[in-house]
Structure 1
């Protein structure tokens, strides 16, 4: 396990306990160690890269695509990685929407850190990225994920049978969504001391 960073990370936005920032190549060792520690927690709900090679491919795909952007959720006291929130399938033009994918690592689960990080990402998406709508597709049995989006103010929109192929089977999902006009942030966005914001579409 890599040692926590001793200097502040260049966060895109900060809350009381966490900041969000892009993935970096040097995050590979810490991220993959946390992913391996979290196999039981993640179960069939999600998969995260567990090797350095897989991480580099994963992070590179996020950085190299105009339709995806990824954020690490890091604890501000030590810079450690608590989880991640990605915006996938970004469609611009008349849609201005994206689909969320996210996960907390085992050491950070149940502490509200991902909830705070998700709030920062949603504010960043509706502000700096100029999106109008975000949705999250969640398996019906994933109670922790359903509770997360409910707390964030997402509304239930529908049920999609056999929506995604995960862990060897087609899985049903519920669709939850929120739009920029209806979103109510949990914490005011703080960017005054952060590094310049990055638009993945520039």
Structure 2
């Protein structure tokens, strides 16, 4: 197994929000080597739900969309003590105006899975999205069999709002998804632990 290069340590000022164990920062082109190495070592952990970019070329396209397009925001959940990337949360298809909504895509890398880091990171994302980003609502569309993902949003306070057959084309087929959502009002006063 290829070990990722040493993580790029984030300066405290780079974090958009911090919790006890993780910090949240914007994705950068410079994260490519560590991100793709983590994606490769996590392939078995992520499949069949998620296919993060495993090559420099795919990462450049992925990061470019998140960095350059204002309708998307790429956020990394990083270990505060080492700066290592634990996972990612993307706010996609951001719509302003009266809607003020975004759609979440996220994943934990294998070395960080099952440790509560993404729960802490998602709470930071909610604080950032409903604060500085000015959003009112976030949706997470999840394949019904993806129990860890459902548990993550449930812990964060999302509510199940519906079922969308043939919602997304993933791994060669149209996949059904459950629609989970949370609004700013649902998080009012909720502590970030």
TM-score of the superposed pair, with normalisation by structure 1: 0.90
- The aligned length equals 188
Unaligned runs of 5+ in 1: 189-202
Which one of 173, 180, 183 corresponds to residue 179 of structure 1? Answer: 183
Corresponding residue for residue 118 of structure 2: 114
Structure with greater proportional helix content: 2
Aligned to 1:56: 60
Is contact 1:116–1:186 with CA below 8 Å preserved after alignment? Answer: no
Q: Among 35, 39, 59, which residue is 1:35 paired with?
A: 39
Contact 1:136–1:177 (Cα < 8 Å) also in 2: yes
Q: Is residue 163 of structure 2 the alignment partner of residue 159 of structure 1?
A: yes
Q: Does 1:126 align with 2:130?
A: yes
**2-side partners of 1:25 and 1:56: how far apart?**
7
Q: Is the 2:102–2:135 Cα contact (8 Å) retained in structure 1?
A: yes
For the 8 Å contact 1:100–1:136, the answer to whether it is kept is yes
- Pick one of 46, 50, 54 that aligns with 1:46: 50
CA contact (8 A) 2:141 2:179 kept: yes
| Contact residue 162 and residue 171 of structure 1 kept, 8 A | yes
RMSD: 1.2
Q: CA deviation at 1:13?
A: 0.7
The structure with higher relative contact order (CA 8 Å, sep 6+) is 1
- Which one of the candidate residues 50, 69, 75 is aligned to 1:71? 75
Off by >4 Å, runs of 4+ in structure 1? none
Question: Conserved in 1, the CA contact under 8 Å of 2:8 and 2:31?
Answer: no
